[in-house]
């Protein structure tokens, strides 16, 4: 069983605290993505799991074994690096076999294992080449193969796709996902690309300044971000933040915003009744409403209790599957997602429906979620 | 790393094996010298052959040149390493200094057996004795205050070899007027100093030389006589061709041979150059002493024996000392080298006229008390003091420094060096 | 149209002039660089009479290799008349181990300092680097005492030690600056693959090092081969390196100079380093390109 | 949960880098810093013929700075060091740029420029001494071609001898600097050059304003290597000028040698060595500091 447990992991370089106490519990076979901007400590954490950096405080365990003081080679992990870190002087076959050779696996076994992995990654014809003779995607595969061949308990990926072009990245992403399914191994994956995170992860840990902001499934991260940082980081285009004030209405609670339509500003009361419990203490105070673009869509197709009103469209951006409309609320840009073909804009204005049940509400002072 | 450590260990083992005293004491000597090439090397080879003929094992350690005598560095390195060579070519006051440092072996045994006191002039005895005991063996005597002249060239202006400095200047002026370089000279510090000391001896006289260059009498050093010495040096500078700086002495000698220049002031090793070119003394060239009151500036090479352990090495030293001062070697060696024997009782038949003149002059100078050590060649002075003299002599000769300034600087430099 | 037709030849002409100027400068410098070599080689092929009589820059009347033969196998150095040959081999037995050792140690040190950054690694490097600047004259006396204490004075081991120590600063500099440009991830990957310090060095780092090994070896070989001071101070007699023997052959205090033999001796002494530069010169430049100079 | 302690082999493996650096470092500590301390101590003693360990304070330094020869040597070091480094870099840089113009036979010409580095200063010095000798060398030859006023007797002039040293030293090292710069030029990003020439910059400007400034680290490396050659220059002086005329072209290394080994003034020699080392440190320490600072956790 290869669960991975990180308990209050701290990393300090001199006086600089890079990780400030991280707790993560990973079950066997789970796929964890560490997401964050550069410098947030995600690579440091990965290196600590790998044993390439020492743990200043706290404990890291694989299974029921604390590995703080276990040499990387004895941790039963494999790692894929951003630059692939292929040994330039060795052929692809030797590159893949190196880890086995170091562990004293006999040559015939090594060759069989290498061949099997190469076959799995469809690169059995490349085994005699040197890394310098490979394309970017092929190098990536070799790097994967090098990790796979050892069948470790935990796979670690350090931004493995960031050096690839868009198309290859997509392909490899699927490939990794497929591998995960097939091997059912525990994987930790570092990236700054939220799409990768959302598509690959069983759970995502979002890091900022050495602290975990939220550790949850992609859906939860997407729908219920714990703070404005997480909300802004995940999702493309990002969540709209609308600063406003809570007021009491006949139905319950609402928040007034000014929407530009037909060349003038119109007051619109957004209905917050769905969130009564959380907004009740905020009556008369400022809050931030977070609305994903897809929560603002064309009126008339929505199924459930949605609110709808007219809003002027500054610009439209067709993305194929749907069209993004840029609106102007409270004098700020707001992004709406509309099904292609439904954008019926008359004289620059169109009727939009807002699904307030999917709104996230934040306290503007602490920037945290209100429920 | 491992193999290196092993190498260190085995190296230590090897040296230890060497250091262990061998059972029989065949004479053995390592000889550190700077006579590495040409006639000098032949001269040393003669000694080595004699040494081997007597059953000795000669370990040759030649180190020449390399930046103002690399040998000086080597010797110190060897002494500090606790492994000095048995015999080292050093001379003059350096012998005294090494003896004072307790580094030299006592040769009294050989000396009394061979009656050195009876055959060596007192001036030379003083050089190689420390506190009354012999610590070094003199090999030869070079005279420094020579003029080597081309008679044909001098005849062109109707002059002979000058016998006074006034005459020297007059002849030189005539030569200049005739478009001939009067003085062939190489502008290296020791050559500048060689000319300087002959001028001190000539202008100041024997007593002044002794006071100023030997006893370092400050009054003498700062005197008007010294000013006129520098005045004469300034004149000499005018007699030298413009290309002189850095020239080796033998190239200057060649200028005299070829008739480009009339005279050269140089020690009697210059004879070797003439001989090599097949020139005959008295006919193709003339050797005469520089103008002075019977002064004789002596340069004597010698081998000092360092304290060594081991019967074989001590036996080697004694054998070497005996051979070096032996009549036979003194003759062969000095014929090769162009110098005269350090001992006075060597047969003269094989020597040329210049050498015989040198021998006669040395005897009479020793009797008349005018036998002096050369400063430039490390007999009268060594180390810092000699260096200070050379610095000032060469700085003055190579610039337009006034004689007065030169004297002041000289006094200051000598005080600093003491 | 008319504009461009007058313009193009004018530009061609100026390009031609630039080219001519370029080649003139390059050739003038080439002459400047070759002049001393010409003088030395020319003199070594003349006989003494020709040297005394003629101009330094005149071509030799005929090719006369007597001086070369004399310097190599006949000339007397001290009391032994073997020419430079045995001393040449002395230098070889000294230079090869010293070059190998200092290069190996430099490579290991550079590797440990860059790829295994430990606390104070930069300070250690700075302290080692300063060793480049110690004039050798300064260390002769304490070195002599030390060699005496270890008991390897007057042996080739002593010289090997001395040259290894004072070459170490340079080799460490070269390797450290080269290894800085090798990605750390290679070492990390290999660590996870289960390779240790030395395995990574041997299997990953060393195979990537030939360019800088060439630089280091050329540099060290030149320095060690050309050294005179240490060779003169810490060896004697038959064990002396060729530079000391050459110096003994050339220098005479009161003897006759044989310039042709001197020059031939100088050329024989310089031959191995010249050979190395001429043959491996382009690898040298390539090695420098590969990162040795990127502070 | 169990927490296995670090295995002994791993514990050794973790300190292996230090263990490997240790011998080299120990060698340097002893043979460089130990010897510097030794020299520093000796510079405060009355050591004459052999080292003497009785301290007498700063008297050797006082005597040192009263010596005209030393003042000249120190002054020469600054003139020589500055000019040598400057001229070698300018010529090396120029040659590198010229050779970078897609020259035919580049390898051949490069070898000609580079070969002096292979030759010891003793030989370089001797060869140039002959060439600069007014009666033997270039001067006579050029004059015989009809240029009567040509003068190249630098070694024979008190004021020019230092420049003769500079010339020979530049001759020796310019090729090496050229190699450094050439290699750096070859690794400059070609896109920058393309972009600049599209912007209409002339080739001359591109080199001066864009390429050369981007090679700052190479300049620094060149300065360090040349500075080490300058401070260690000893053989060249011996072979080329013998420190003369007079002692006008002595350098501190020669002074130190002369005092220590020829004049039995080991104390003064050690003092001069300490001043030399202090000079080097004054130049090198700021450089090393700026180069190595901020590169801690690469």
Domain boundaries, chain A: 4-233, 240-362
The torsion of the CA quartet C137, D274, C153, B30, rounded to 10 degrees, works out to: 60
User: With touching defined as 3+ CB pairs under 8 A, do chains B and A touch?
Assistant: no
* Rounded distance between C-alpha atoms, residue C210 and residue D263, angstroms: 47
A103 contact residues in C (CB cutoff 8 A): 194
**Taking Cα atoms as reference points, which of B149, B150, B113, B106 lies closest to residue B131?**
B106
d(C-alpha D176, C-alpha D226), whole Å: 10
Looking at every residue in chain B, the average pLDDT score rounds to 84
Contact A220, A239 (CB under 8 A): no
The CA dihedral of B89, B92, B94, B96, to the nearest 10 degrees, is 110
Choose among D93, D256, D102: nearest CA to D184. Answer: D93
Indicate the angle between helix axes D68-99 and D266-292, nearest 10 degrees: 40
Does residue C26 sit in the same domain as residue C168? no
Contact map slice: A 71-130 vs D, CB within 8 A: 71, 74
* Percent residues over pLDDT 90 in chain A: 23
Chains touching B (3+ CB pairs < 8 Å): C, D
Q: Is pLDDT above 90 for A172?
A: no
CA dihedral over B400, B401, B404, B410, signed as positive or negative: negative
Q: Quick check: B18 pLDDT over 50?
A: no
Among the listed ranges A214-223, C2-11, C114-123, D90-99, which one has the minimum average pLDDT value?
C2-11
Q: Which residues of B touch C160 (CB under 8 A)?
A: 7
| Closest partner CB to D261 (pick from B76, B98, B416) | B76
Using a CB–CB cutoff of 8 Å, tell me whether D90 touches chain C: no
Cβ D257–C222 below 8 Å, yes or no? no
Which of C184, C190, C192, C199 to mutate to probe the A interface, most A CBs <10 Å? C192
Nearest to B338 by CA among B391, B395, B299: B299
Contact C191 A47 (CB under 8 A): no
> Tens of pLDDT along A193-204?
888 999 999 999
Q: Token pair for residue C91?
A: 């230098």
Give the mean model confidence (pLDDT) for residues C19-44.
86
Instruction: For an interface test with C, give the residue of D24, D27, D107 to mutate (most C CBs within 10 A).
Output: D24
* Distance of alpha carbon A187 from alpha carbon C42, whole angstroms: 74
Chain D residues with a Cβ under 8 Å from any Cβ in chain A: 1-7, 10, 13, 296-297
Q: Domain boundary residue among C64, C90, C118?
A: C64
Give dist(CA B219, CA B221) in Å, integer: 5
pLDDT score for B265: 93
Give the residue from chain D lying closest to B65, CA to CA. D238
- Based on the number of CB atoms within 10 Å of its own CB, is B28 exposed (0-12), middle (13-18) or buried (19 or more)? buried
Of the candidates B372, B355, B394, B319, the one whose C-alpha atom is nearest the C-alpha of residue B140 is: B355
Q: Are residues C42 and C94 in the same domain?
A: no
Cα–Cα distance measured from residue A205 to residue A19, given in angstroms and rounded to the nearest whole number: 14
Cβ of A89 within 8 Å of Cβ of C192? The answer is no
Summarised one tens digit per residue, pLDDT across range C211-252 is: 889 888 988 998 899 888 888 778 777 778 888 888 777 765
Chains that contact C by 3+ CB pairs under 8 Å? Answer: A, B, D
| Cis omega (within 30 of 0) for bond into D245 | yes
CA dist A209 → A157, B147, B280 (Å): 21, 91, 97
Check residue A193 and give left, alpha or beta (phi > 0: left; psi -120 to 50: alpha): beta
Tell me what pLDDT residue B173 has.
Answer: 93
Give the lowest-confidence range in A141-150, B43-52, B297-306, D203-212. D203-212
The answer on C220 and C84 residing in a single domain is yes
Sheet of strand B340-341: strand arrangement:
B340-341, B140-143, B296-299, B371-373
CA-based angle C201:C204:C205, to the nearest 5?
A: 55
Q: Domain D68-290: give its CATH superfamily.
A: MetI-like (1.10.3720.10)
Contacts of A71 in chain D (CB under 8 A): 6-7, 10, 13
Instruction: Confirm if B367 and B123 have CB atoms less than 8 A apart.
Output: no
Report the distance separating Cα D193 and Cα D183, nearest Å: 16
* Residues β-bridged to residue B304: B88, B136
Report residue D235 as tokens: 């053989």
In a domain, B364, yes or no: no
**D104 alpha carbon, distance to own chain's centre:** 32
Tokens representing A209 are: 């300044």
State how far Cα B24 lies from the chain centre.
38
Which residue, among C137, C147, C276, would best test binding to D if mutated, counting the most D CBs under 10 Å from its CB?
Answer: C137
Pairing of strands A264-271, A332-339: unpaired
* Bridge partners for A283 per DSSP: A246
Residue B117 predicted with pLDDT over 80: yes
CB A371 within 8 A of CB A327: no
Taking contacts as CB-CB distances below 8 angstroms, the residues of chain C near B248 are 257
- Statement to judge: residues B274 and B408 lie in one domain: yes
Query: Are B201 and B165 spatial neighbours (Cβ–Cβ below 8 Å)?
Result: no
Strands (E), A240-293: 240-248, 253-261, 264-271, 286-291
Average pLDDT over residues D157-180: 86
Per residue in D244-261, pLDDT (tens digit) is 777 788 888 888 888 888
Chain A environment of C205 (Cβ under 8 Å): none
Q: Which two tokens stand for residue A123?
A: 């690169």
Q: For the segment B280-330, what is each residue's pLDDT rounded down to a tens digit?
A: 888 889 999 899 888 899 998 889 998 888 888 888 888 888 888 888 888
Of D134, D241, D246, the CB nearest to B395: D246
Q: Give how far Cα A110 sits from Cα of A91, A116, A155, A263, D219, Å.
A: 14, 10, 20, 72, 49
Do C224 and C93 lie in a common domain? Answer: yes
Cβ atoms of residues D48 and D266 within 8 Å: yes
User: pLDDT tens-digit profile of A316-329?
Assistant: 888 888 888 899 89
What is residue C234's predicted lDDT score, i.e. its pLDDT? 82
Crossing angle of helices C2-44 and D106-114, in 10° steps, is 40
Tokens read off for D293: 């600072």
Which chain B residues touch D if contact means CB-CB below 8 Å? 1, 66-69, 72-73, 76, 79-80, 94, 97-98, 100-101, 103, 187-189, 192, 241-247, 382-384, 386-387, 391, 394-395, 397-399, 409, 412-413, 416-417
Residue A304's pLDDT band, with cuts at 50, 70 and 90, is: low
Q: Are residues B352 and B406 in the same domain?
A: no
Q: Between β-strands A349-354 and A307-318, what pairing exists: parallel, antiparallel or unpaired?
A: antiparallel
All residues of chain D having their beta carbon less than 8 Å from the beta carbon of residue C116 are 16-17
| Tokens linked to D129 | 């001494």
- List chains touching D (3+ CB pairs under 8 A): A, B, C
Number of domains in chain B: 2
Q: What is the pairing mode between strands B140-143 and B146-149?
A: unpaired
B75: part of which helix (H) or strand (E)?
A: helix B70-80
Closest CA–CA distance from residue C131 to any residue of chain A (Å)? 29
For C189, the closest chain A residue by CA position comes to: A85
* Phi/psi of residue C60, nearest 5 degrees: -65, 145
Q: How confident is the model at residue C105 (pLDDT cuts 50, 70, 90)?
A: very high
Together in a domain, C49 and C94: no
B356, two tokens = 């015989």
B178 touches chain C (CB under 8 A): no
The answer to whether the CB of C267 falls within 8 A of the CB of C182 is: no
CA angle B239, B242, B246 (to 5 degrees): 105
- Residue of A73, D27, A152 whose CA lies nearest to C199: A73
The pLDDT assigned to D279 comes to 85
Taking CA atoms, what residue in D is nearest to C181?
D298
Whose CA is closest to C263, among C59, C34, C33, C65?
A: C65
CA dihedral (D57, D63, D65, D68) in degrees, to 10, reads -170
Residue B401 and residue B412 in one domain: yes
The whole-number pLDDT of residue D258 equals: 82
| D94-140 pLDDT per residue, tens | 888 888 877 778 888 888 888 888 888 878 887 888 777 776 677 77
A215: closest CA among B51, A224, C172?
Answer: A224
Residue at B409 is within a domain: yes
Question: How many CB atoms are located within 10 Å of the residue A305 CB?
Answer: 11
Do C140 and C284 lie in one domain? The reply is yes
Q: Are residues C34 and C12 in the same domain?
A: yes
- Can you read off the two tokens belonging to residue D234? 């000893």
Contact indicator for B189, B394 with CB cutoff of 8 Å: yes
Q: What is the pLDDT of residues A206-217, one digit of tens each?
A: 999 888 999 999
Alpha-carbon gap: C142 to the closest alpha carbon of chain B (Å): 8
- Res. B193: pLDDT tops 70: yes
Nearest to D135 by CA among C258, B191, B244, C49: B244
> CB neighbours of A346 closer than 8 A, spacing ≥ 6?
none
pTM score, two decimals? 0.82
Q: Record the tokens describing residue C238, joined without a space.
A: 């038959």
Chain D nearest-CA distance from C79, in A, is 24
Residue C49 pLDDT greater than 50, yes or no = yes
Are residues B393 and B286 part of one domain? yes
Q: What are phi and psi of C5, to 5 degrees?
A: -70, -35
Higher-scoring residue by pLDDT: A114, C154:
A114
Q: Can you give the CATH number for the domain in which B215 is found?
A: 3.40.190.10
CB-CB under 8 Å, C249 with B36: yes
Q: CA-to-CA distance for A118 and A124, rounded, in angstroms? A: 5
The span from the CA of D291 to the CA of D220, in Å, is 9
Mark whether C46 and C138 lie in a shared domain.
Answer: no
Chain D closest CA to A107's CA: distance in Å? 26
Indicate the SS3 state at residue A242: strand
CATH code for the structural domain at A240-362: 2.40.50.140
Q: Cα separation of D114 and C278, whole Å?
A: 8
d(CA C4, CA D274): 68
Tell whether D71 lies on the interface with C, counting CB pairs under 8 A. Answer: no
Residue A5, helix vs strand vs coil: strand
Beta bridge partners of C285: none
Other beta carbons less than 10 A from residue B13's beta carbon = 11
Kindly state the average pLDDT of the residues C103-124: 87
Contact B114, B400 (CB under 8 A): no
CATH number belonging to domain A4-233: 3.40.50.300
Give me the helix-helix angle, C210-226 and C85-115, nearest 10°: 140
Judged by 3 or more CB pairs under 8 A, whether B touches C is yes
What's the gap in Å between the CA of D11 and the closest CA on chain B? 21
Residues C53 and C80 grouped into a single domain: no
Q: Is there a contact between B59 and C148 if contact means CB atoms under 8 Å apart? A: no
Determine which of A63-67, A149-153, B22-26, B402-406 has the lowest per-residue pLDDT on average.
Answer: B22-26
Q: Rounded to whole angstroms, how far apart are CA atoms A2 and A154?
A: 7
Q: Are residues B250 and B236 in the same domain?
A: yes
CB-CB: which of C133, C247, C266 is closest to D280?
Answer: C133
Task: Say yes or no to pLDDT of A108 above 80.
Answer: yes
pLDDT beyond 60 at B13: no
Contact C112 D18 (CB under 8 A): yes
Dmax over Cα atoms in chain B, in whole Å?
79
All residues of chain B having their beta carbon less than 8 Å from the beta carbon of residue C87 are: none
Mutation to test the A interface, candidates C115, C186, C189, most A Cβ within 10 Å: C189
Q: List CB contacts (< 8 A) between B34 and chain C.
A: 251, 253
* Residue of B98, B394, B397 with shortest CB distance to D49: B98
8 A C-beta contact, residue D23 and residue C165: no
Paired residues of A225 in beta bridges: none
| Residue numbers of the domain that contains B147 | 143-298+369-417
Domain of residue C156: give its range.
Answer: 76-292
Domain-located, residue B12: no
């Amino acid at each position: 069983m290869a669960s991975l447990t990180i308990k209050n992991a701290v990393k300090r370089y001199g006086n600089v605290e890079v990780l400030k106490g991280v707790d993560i519990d990973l079950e066997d076979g789970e796929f964890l993505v560490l997401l964050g901007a550069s410098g947030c400590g995600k690579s440091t954490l990965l290196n600590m799991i790998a044993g390439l950096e020492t743990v200043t405080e706290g404990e890291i365990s694989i299974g029921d074994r604390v590995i703080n003081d276990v040499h990387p080679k004895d941790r039963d992990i494999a790692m894929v690096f951003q630059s692939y870190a292929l040994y330039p002087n060795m052929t692809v076959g030797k590159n893949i076999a190196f880890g086995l050779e170091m562990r004293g696996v006999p040559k015939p076994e090594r060759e069989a294992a290498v061949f099997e992995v190469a076959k799995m990654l469809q690169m059995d014809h490349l085994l005699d080449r040197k890394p310098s003779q490979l394309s970017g995607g092929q190098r990536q595969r070799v790097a994967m193969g090098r990790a796979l061949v050892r069948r470790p308990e935990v796979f670690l990926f350090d931004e493995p796709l960031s050096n690839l072009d868009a198309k290859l990245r997509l392909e490899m992403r699927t490939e990794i996902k497929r591998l995960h399914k097939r091997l059912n191994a525990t994987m930790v994956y570092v990236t700054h690309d939220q799409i990768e995170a959302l598509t690959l992860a069983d759970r995502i840990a979002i890091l900022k300044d050495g602290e975990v902001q939220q550790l949850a499934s992609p859906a939860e991260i997407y729908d219920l971000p714990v703070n404005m940082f997480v909300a802004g980081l995940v999702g493309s285009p990002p969540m709209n933040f609308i600063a406003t004030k809570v007021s009491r209405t006949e139905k319950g609670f609402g928040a007034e915003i000014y929407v530009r339509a037909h060349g003038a500003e119109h007051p619109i009361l957004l209905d917050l009744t769905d969130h009564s419990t959380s907004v009740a203490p905020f009556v008369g105070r400022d809050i931030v409403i977070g609305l994903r673009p897809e929560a603002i869509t064309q009126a008339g197709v929505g199924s459930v209790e949605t609110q709808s009103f007219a809003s002027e469209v500054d610009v439209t951006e067709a993305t194929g599957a749907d069209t993004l409309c840029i609106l102007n609320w409270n004098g700020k840009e707001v992004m709406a997602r509309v099904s292609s073909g439904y954008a019926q804009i008359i004289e620059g204005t169109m009727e939009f429906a807002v699904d307030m049940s999917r709104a996230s509400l934040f306290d503007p002072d602490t920037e945290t979620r209100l429920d | 790393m491992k193999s290196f450590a092993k190498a260190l260990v085995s190296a230590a083992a090897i040296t230890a094996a060497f250091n262990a005293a061998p059972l029989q004491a065949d004479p053995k000597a390592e000889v550190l010298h700077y006579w590495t090439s040409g006639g000098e090397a032949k001269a040393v080879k003669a000694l080595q052959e004699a040494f081997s003929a007597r059953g000795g094992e000669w370990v040759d350690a030649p180190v020449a040149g390399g930046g103002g005598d690399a040998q000086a560095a080597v010797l110190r390195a060897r002494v500090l390493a606790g492994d000095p060579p048995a015999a080292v070519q050093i001379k003059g006051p350096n012998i005294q200094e090494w003896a004072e440092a307790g580094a030299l072996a006592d040769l009294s045994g050989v000396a009394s057996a061979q009656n050195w006191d009876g055959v060596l002039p007192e001036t030379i005895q003083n050089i190689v004795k420390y506190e009354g005991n012999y610590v070094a063996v003199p090999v030869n005597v070079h005279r420094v205050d020579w003029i080597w002249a081309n008679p044909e060239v001098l005849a062109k202006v109707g002059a002979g070899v000058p016998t006074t400095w006034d005459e020297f200047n007059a002849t030189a002026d005539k030569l200049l007027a005739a478009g001939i370089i009067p003085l062939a000279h190489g502008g290296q510090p020791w050559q500048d100093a060689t000319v300087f000391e002959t001028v001190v001896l000539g202008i100041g006289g024997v007593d002044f030389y002794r006071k100023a260059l030997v006893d370092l009498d400050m009054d003498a050093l700062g005197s008007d006589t010294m000013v006129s010495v520098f005045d004469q040096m300034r004149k000499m500078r005018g007699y030298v061709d413009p290309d002189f700086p850095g020239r080796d002495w033998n190239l200057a000698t060649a200028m005299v041979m070829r008739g480009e220049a009339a005279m050269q002031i140089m020690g009697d090793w210059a004879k070797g150059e003439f001989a090599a070119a097949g020139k005959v003394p008295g006919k193709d060239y003339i050797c005469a002493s520089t103008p002075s009151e019977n002064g004789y500036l002596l340069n004597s090479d010698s081998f000092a024996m360092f304290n060594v352990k081991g019967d074989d090495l001590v036996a080697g030293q004694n054998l070497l000392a005996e051979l070096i001062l032996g009549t036979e070697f003194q003759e062969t060696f000095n014929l090769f080298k162009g110098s005269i024997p350090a001992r006075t009782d060597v047969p003269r038949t094989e020597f040329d006229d210049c050498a015989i003149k040198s021998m006669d002059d040395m005897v009479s100078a020793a009797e008349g008390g005018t036998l002096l050590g050369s400063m430039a060649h490390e007999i009268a002075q060594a180390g810092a003091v000699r260096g200070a003299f050379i610095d000032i002599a060469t700085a003055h000769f190579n610039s337009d420094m006034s004689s007065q300034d030169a004297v002041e600087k000289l006094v200051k430099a000598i005080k600093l060096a003491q | 149209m008319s504009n461009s037709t007058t313009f193009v030849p004018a530009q061609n002409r100026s390009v031609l002039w630039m080219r001519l100027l370029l080649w003139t400068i390059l050739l003038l410098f080439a002459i400047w660089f070759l002049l001393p070599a010409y003088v030395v080689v020319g003199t070594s092929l003349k006989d003494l009479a020709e040297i005394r009589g003629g101009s330094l820059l005149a071509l030799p009347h005929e090719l006369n290799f007597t001086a070369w033969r004399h310097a190599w196998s006949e000339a007397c150095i001290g009391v032994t008349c073997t020419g430079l040959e045995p001393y040449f081999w002395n230098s070889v037995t000294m230079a090869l181990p010293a070059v190998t050792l200092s290069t190996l140690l430099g490579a290991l040190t550079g590797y440990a300092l860059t790829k295994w950054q430990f606390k104070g690694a930069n300070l250690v490097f700075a302290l080692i680097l300063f060793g480049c600047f110690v004039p050798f004259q300064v260390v002769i006396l304490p070195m002599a005492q030390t060699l005496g204490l270890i008991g390897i004075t007057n042996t080739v081991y002593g010289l090997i030690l001395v040259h290894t120590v004072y070459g170490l600063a340079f080799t460490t500099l070269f390797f450290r600056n080269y290894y800085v440009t090798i990605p750390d991830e290679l070492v990390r990957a290999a660590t996870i693959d289960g390779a240790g310090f030395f395995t990574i060095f041997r299997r990953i780092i060393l195979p990537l090092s030939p360019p800088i090994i060439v630089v280091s070896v050329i540099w060290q070989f030149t320095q060690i081969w050309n050294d005179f001071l240490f060779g003169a101070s810490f060896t004697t007699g038959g064990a002396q390196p060729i530079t000391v023997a050459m110096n003994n052959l050339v220098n005479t205090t009161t003897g006759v100079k044989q310039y042709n033999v001197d020059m031939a001796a100088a050329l024989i002494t310089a031959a191995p380093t010249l050979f190395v530069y001429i043959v491996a010169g382009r690898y040298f430049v390539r090695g420098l390109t590969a990162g040795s100079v990127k502070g | 949960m169990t927490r296995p302690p670090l295995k002994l082999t791993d514990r050794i493996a973790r300190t292996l880098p230090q263990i490997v650096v240790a011998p080299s470092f120990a060698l340097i500590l002893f043979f460089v810093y130990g010897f510097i301390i030794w020299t520093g101590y000796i510079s405060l003693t009355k050591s004459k013929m052999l080292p003497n360990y009785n301290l007498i304070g700063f008297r050797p330094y006082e005597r040192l700075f009263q010596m005209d020869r030393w003042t000249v040597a120190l002054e020469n070091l600054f003139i020589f060091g500055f000019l040598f480094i400057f001229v070698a870099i300018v010529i090396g840089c120029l040659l590198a740029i010229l050779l970078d113009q897609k020259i035919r036979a580049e390898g051949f010409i490069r070898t000609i420029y580079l070969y002096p580095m292979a030759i010891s200063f003793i030989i370089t010095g001797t060869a140039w001494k002959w060439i600069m000798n007014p009666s033997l060398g270039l001067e006579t030859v050029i004059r015989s071609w009809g240029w009567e006023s040509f003068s190249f007797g630098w070694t024979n002039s008190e004021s020019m001898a230092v420049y003769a040293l500079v010339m020979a030293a530049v001759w020796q090292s310019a090729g090496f600097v050229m190699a450094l710069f050439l290699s750096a030029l070859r690794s400059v990003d070609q896109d920058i050059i393309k972009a600049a020439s599209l912007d209409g910059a002339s080739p001359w400007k591109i080199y001066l304003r864009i390429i050369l400034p981007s090679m700052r680290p190479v300049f620094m490396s060149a300065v360090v290597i040349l500075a080490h050659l300058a401070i260690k220059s000893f053989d060249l002086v011996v072979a080329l000028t013998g420190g003369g005329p007079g002692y006008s072209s002595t350098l501190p290394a020669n002074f130190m040698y002369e005092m220590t080994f020829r004049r039995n003034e080991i104390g003064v020699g050690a003092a001069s060595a300490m001043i030399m080392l202090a000079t080097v440190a004054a130049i090198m320490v700021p450089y090393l500091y700026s180069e190595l600072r901020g590169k801690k956790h690469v």
